[in-house]
């Protein structure tokens, strides 16, 4: 069993939790992920590691409450336990030997982009960070990014905070202005990562993306997370999750990620209904 | 006077029409009367060939004599003196190629039902006695066992019996390996596996789940932590695909994924959260036991048509005859001498068919089996919405890629010497990690042998 030692709502749909998991904390590196399972009947769900404290033996996860499992996790509180928490899984972000990088984070993906940006900084790189959010209300981790970025560019779709526009607008500006990067690392929703790759391609900038396919075991035994990279089949859980974005088949990834969409919609519907019925009984 | 009937005492089974729609165990097991009757068929050979056919050398005539006398507890003790997991091996062993293949009664008529009797004894003990084994006094030496499948469970149990302090590391959230994620509930109830793990813990073995060796800890770190020897029983869990067009469509998955969702995550039970694809027609590609398990799960999950697509003939199928028979009884349709060439998708990126080509058998290949050859122009399409690839598995590279000095062959299998020791001093290995995908009982045999070698190594 794994104890939730801290819980903080970062915005209306994004939660931070610090979980007591000494073995994971000891080995975790930026770019790696964990798989959690709340109780005996729950699914195994992957989440990228957002931070760790080796001395305290804790691992930080930041997640958006989008499906049954993440909503259920979000309903737990400090002091509660979850059944399983396994990791670190996958390969860490390759930070060595890079002089100048740009880390691009989108929405809740910023939680995963942060430790990679910090790791690049620690490895001695000059780090630009571009983070994008729909609007001011959902901005997360601004101070943390400020602390590790040489230049931080904060974008909102509606211009309610920072600069107006998508992350790709800022990236395009920087590249056109002649800014040179050894690598761009993009982490966020699949369409965002795809467009970041389209933006960097004409400039020939090496671009890595952190993929988020459906996973079951996360140890390489089922191939549920397989993606096509440069025409070859790769298992994101062991070969990734970070891959050369210019070689990733994004259309296939988006298609495969929708396999259980109908069932997920149904589950959240029945779930909400159940809550409503219960609620109505309590508060007539 | 022995019971000279030529056929095995039949074992009651669930009706095929009924069982094709539930996940309860198919074979119901002998009653004490049936077991004693069947045990009476054993001729108690002076030089029993059946024992030689058993990879863990159970003293078969000895335990069967005790069953014939109704001394079930004594029979259990005879079996468990060489085999720690009889409830499992009695159910999933291919006895027809092992102990029962050597039985003299099989020369004329059917062999003695050794597997059914072993299973009866184990089940009787669990239901009537189920005493937890005693913890042996510690010899102060620590051994790490990586992987809790049949090889690891056997090795851990044998070492614990000798007084070693054993820690069993499992990557998944439940111990048992293929016994929990692969073999379905209707062939091997998970409560039986859980009971075996409980017995192991009673022997003093520490079971640590959620520990992916190669990521969380490396083999070298296990030695740093004070383990004096390591047994690697990490199996062969890496699934193969065909590399044909359409393999990344929605509705194509490895048998490992389909079976893990079904068995380990209990996707068939509405109370559990893990989803599984709802299929009308399923093609399972392959002819081994895993293919049969996948097909029979698909039927139970509500598919109207389930096809086994296999490139050789029925006689060449590696699956146990009993499983093929059970599958057919449950309505699985066999498309043998057929090989998939493409998986077809609809406008939503979902599988809508599988294009196959008919095959004929040509000259024998290196394995001695006749090589299937395509018949030009014989392509046809099977209308299916799900394709399950059961083409076999190979060892996962996670451990070998993080352990310097651990050598493997070109198939990625760990190389071991006659004592099951790898190319790293103090690191032993056995089961599918060494042989590639094989059987439960061979893995148990390897775990047993490795335990003896580890004991010899640490007693030097």
What's residue B366's pLDDT?
Answer: 79
Distance of CA B451 to the CA centre of its chain: 20
> Distance between CA A219 and CA B177 in Å, rounded?
13
Angle at A31 between CA B175 and CA B217, to 5 degrees: 40
Give residue B106's pLDDT band: very low, low, confident or very high (50, 70, 90): very high
Going A262 to A263 to A265 to A269, the CA torsion angle's sign is positive
Average pLDDT score, chain B: 94
What kind and span of H or E run contains B393?
A: strand B393-394
Going B301 to B306 to B311 to B313, the CA torsion angle's sign is positive
Is residue B89 helix, strand or coil? Answer: helix
Residues constituting chain B:
460
Cis, peptide link before residue A88, omega less than 30° from 0: yes
Phi, psi torsion values for B23, nearest 5 degrees = -105, 15
What's residue A67's pLDDT?
Answer: 86
Q: What would the mean pLDDT of B347-363 be, rounded to a whole number?
A: 94
What's residue A265's pLDDT?
Answer: 67
Interface of A with B in 49-68 (CB under 8 A): 68
Cis, peptide link before residue B366, omega less than 30° from 0: no
Work out the percent of chain B whose per-residue pLDDT is above 70. Answer: 100
Report CB contact under 8 Å: B171, A23: no
Nearest CB to A222; choose among B173, B254, B271: B254
Is residue B15 helix, strand or coil? Answer: coil
Residue to test with chain B: of A22, A46, A217, A257, most B Cβ within 10 A: A217
For B232-259, letters b (16+ CB in 10 Å) and e give bbbbbbbbbbbebebbbbbbbbbbbbbb
Work out the percent of chain B whose per-residue pLDDT is above 90. Answer: 87
Inform me whether the pLDDT recorded for A191 exceeds 70: yes
Going A156 to A158 to A159 to A165, the CA torsion angle's sign is positive
A257 touches chain B (CB under 8 A): no
Look at B230 and B2; give whichever has higher pLDDT. B230
Contact residues for A30 (Cβ-Cβ < 8 A; gap 6+): A49, A92, A93, A95, A115, A116, A118, A119
Inform me whether the pLDDT recorded for A263 exceeds 80: no
- The answer to whether B406 and B414 have CB atoms below 8 angstroms apart is yes
Q: What would the mean pLDDT of A215-232 be, rounded to a whole number?
A: 94
Residues of B in contact with A85 (CB under 8 A): 210
pLDDT, tens digit (0-9, with 9 covering 90-100), for B148-171: 999 999 999 999 999 999 999 999
Q: What would the mean pLDDT of B55-60 be, rounded to a whole number?
A: 91
- The answer to whether B149 and B175 have CB atoms below 8 angstroms apart is no
Inter-CA distances, B440 with A2, A121, B92, B153, B170, Å: 33, 50, 7, 11, 17
Q: What would the mean pLDDT of A267-281 be, rounded to a whole number?
A: 47
Nearest CB to A37; choose among B173, B216, B261: B173
What's residue B450's pLDDT?
Answer: 97
What's residue B377's pLDDT?
Answer: 95
Beta pairing, strands B338-345 & B333-336: unpaired
Report CB contact under 8 Å: B253, A238: no
Residue to test with chain B: of A211, A221, A231, A252, most B Cβ within 10 A: A221
Q: What would the mean pLDDT of A198-210 be, rounded to a whole number?
A: 96
CA nearest neighbour of B421 among B407, B432, B411: B407
pLDDT, tens digit (0-9, with 9 covering 90-100), for B166-191: 999 999 999 999 999 999 999 999 99
What is the nearest CA distance from B257 to chain A, expressed in angstroms? 5
Q: What would the mean pLDDT of B30-42 be, rounded to a whole number?
A: 97
Report CB contact under 8 Å: B217, A226: no
Inform me whether the pLDDT recorded for A280 exceeds 50: no
Give residue B84's pLDDT band: very low, low, confident or very high (50, 70, 90): confident
What's residue B365's pLDDT?
Answer: 81
Inform me whether the pLDDT recorded for A269 exceeds 80: no
Q: Which residues pair with A9 in a beta bridge?
A: A15
Inform me whether the pLDDT recorded for B414 exceeds 90: yes
Inform me whether the pLDDT recorded for A272 exceeds 70: no
Look at B344 and A263; give whichever has higher pLDDT. B344
What's residue A266's pLDDT?
Answer: 64
Residues of A in contact with B238 (CB under 8 A): 220-221
Nearest CB to A226; choose among B248, B261, B396: B248
Say if residue A222 carries a ligand binding annotation: yes
What's residue B1's pLDDT?
Answer: 67
Please report which residue ranges of A123-241 form alpha helices under DSSP H.
142-148, 167-176, 190-200, 236-239
Which phi-psi region, left, alpha or beta, contains residue B97 (left: φ > 0; alpha: ψ -120 to 50)?
Answer: alpha
Contact residues for B61 (Cβ-Cβ < 8 A; gap 6+): B42, B44, B45, B48, B50, B51
Say if residue A164 carries a ligand binding annotation: no
Inform me whether the pLDDT recorded for B299 exceeds 60: yes
Write out the residues of chain B at the interface with chain A, using a CB-CB cutoff of 8 A. 171-173, 209-212, 215-217, 237-239, 241, 243, 247-251, 253-254, 256-257, 260-261, 265-266, 271-275, 277-278, 349, 393, 396-398
A27 touches chain B (CB under 8 A): yes
Inform me whether the pLDDT recorded for A284 exceeds 70: no
Residues of A in contact with B251 (CB under 8 A): 259
What's residue A278's pLDDT?
Answer: 43
What's residue A261's pLDDT?
Answer: 80
| DSSP one-letter string for A105-148 | EEGGGHHHHHHHHHHHHHTT-EEEEEEEESSGGG---HHHHHHH
Q: Can you tell me the ipTM of this complex?
A: 0.90
A261 touches chain B (CB under 8 A): no
Q: What would the mean pLDDT of A135-140 be, rounded to a whole number?
A: 91
> Distance between CA A268 and CA B299 in Å, rounded?
27
What is the nearest CA distance from A40 to chain B, expressed in angstroms? 8
A214 touches chain B (CB under 8 A): no
What's residue B335's pLDDT?
Answer: 97
pLDDT, tens digit (0-9, with 9 covering 90-100), for A2-36: 999 999 999 888 999 999 999 999 999 999 999 99
What's residue B448's pLDDT?
Answer: 93
């Amino acid at each position: 069993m794994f104890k939730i030692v801290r819980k903080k709502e970062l915005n209306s749909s994004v939660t931070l939790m610090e979980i007591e998991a000494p073995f994971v904390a000891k080995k975790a590196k930026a770019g790696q992920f964990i798989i959690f399972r709340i109780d005996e009947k729950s699914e195994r769900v992957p989440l990228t590691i957002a931070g760790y404290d080796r001395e305290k033996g804790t691992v930080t996860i930041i997640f958006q409450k989008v499906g049954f499992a993440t909503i259920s996790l979000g309903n737990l509180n400090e002091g509660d336990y979850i059944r399983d928490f396994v990791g670190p899984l996958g390969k860490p972000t390759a930070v060595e030997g890079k002089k100048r990088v740009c880390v691009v984070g989108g929405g809740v993906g910023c939680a995963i982009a942060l430790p990679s940006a910090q790791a690049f900084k620690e490895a001695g790189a000059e780090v630009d960070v571009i983070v994008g959010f729909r609007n001011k209300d959902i901005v997360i981790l601004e101070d943390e990014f400020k602390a590790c970025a040489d230049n931080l560019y904060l974008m909102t779709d509606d211009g309610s905070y920072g600069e107006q526009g998508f992350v790709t607008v800022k990236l395009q500006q920087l590249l056109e202005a002649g800014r040179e990067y050894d690598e761009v690392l993009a982490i966020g929703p699949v369409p965002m990562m795809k467009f970041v790759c389209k933006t960097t391609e004409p400039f020939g900038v090496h671009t890595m993306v952190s993929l988020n396919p459906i996973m079951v075991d996360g140890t390489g035994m089922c191939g549920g997370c397989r993606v096509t990279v440069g025409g070859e089949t790769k298992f994101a859980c062991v070969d990734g999750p970070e891959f050369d974005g210019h070689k990733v088949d994004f259309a296939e990834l988006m298609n495969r990620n929708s396999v259980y969409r109908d069932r997920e919609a149904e589950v959240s519907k029945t779930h909400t209904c159940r809550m409503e019925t219960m609620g109505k009984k309590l508060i007539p | 006077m022995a019971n000279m009937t030529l056929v095995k005492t039949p074992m009651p089974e669930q009706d095929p029409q009924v069982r094709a729609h539930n996940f309860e165990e198919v074979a119901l097991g002998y009653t004490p009367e049936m077991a004693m009757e069947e045990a009476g068929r054993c001729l108690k050979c002076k030089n029993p060939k059946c024992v030689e056919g058993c990879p863990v050398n159970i003293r078969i005539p000895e335990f069967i004599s005790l069953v014939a006398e109704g001394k079930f507890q004594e029979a259990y003790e005879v079996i468990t003196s060489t085999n720690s997991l009889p409830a499992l091996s009695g159910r999933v062993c291919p006895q027809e190629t092992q102990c029962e293949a050597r039985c003299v009664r099989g020369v004329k008529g059917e062999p003695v039902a050794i597997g059914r009797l072993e299973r009866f004894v184990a089940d009787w003990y669990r239901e009537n006695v189920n005493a937890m084994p005693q913890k042996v006094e510690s010899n102060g030496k620590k051994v790490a066992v990586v992987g809790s499948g049949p090889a690891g469970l056997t090795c851990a149990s044998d070492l614990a019996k000798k007084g070693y302090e054993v820690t069993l590391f499992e990557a998944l959230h439940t111990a048992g390996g293929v016994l929990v994620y692969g073999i379905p509930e209707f062939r091997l109830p998970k409560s039986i596996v859980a009971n075996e793990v409980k017995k192991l813990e009673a022997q003093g073995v520490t079971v640590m789940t959620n520990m992916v060796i190669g990521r969380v800890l490396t083999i070298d770190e296990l030695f740093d932590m004070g383990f004096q020897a390591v047994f690697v029983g990490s199996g062969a869990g890496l699934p193969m695909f065909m590399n044909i067009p359409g393999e990344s469509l929605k509705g194509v998955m490895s048998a490992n994924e389909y079976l893990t969702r079904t068995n380990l995550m209990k996707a068939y039970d509405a109370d559990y959260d893990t989803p599984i694809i709802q299929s009308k027609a399923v093609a399972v590609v392959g002819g081994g036991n895993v293919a049969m398990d996948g097909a029979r799960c698909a039927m139970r999950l509500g598919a109207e048509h389930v096809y086994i697509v296999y490139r050789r003939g029925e006689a060449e199928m590696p699956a146990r005859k009993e499983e093929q028979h059970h599958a057919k009884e449950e309505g699985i349709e066999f498309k043998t001498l057929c090989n998939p060439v493409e998986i077809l998708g609809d406008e939503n990126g979902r599988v809508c068919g599988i294009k196959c080509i008919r095959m004929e058998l040509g000259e024998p290949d290196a394995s001695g089996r006749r090589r299937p050859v395509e018949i030009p122009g014989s392509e046809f399409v099977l209308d299916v919405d799900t394709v399950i690839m059961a083409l076999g598995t190979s060892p996962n590279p996670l451990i070998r890629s993080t352990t310097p000095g651990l050598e493997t062959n070109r198939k990625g299998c760990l190389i071991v010497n006659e004592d099951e020791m790898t190319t790293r001093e103090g690191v032993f290995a056995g089961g599918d990690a060494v042989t590639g995908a094989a059987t439960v009982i061979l893995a148990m045999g390897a775990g047993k042998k490795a335990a003896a070698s580890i004991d010899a190594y640490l007693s030097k």
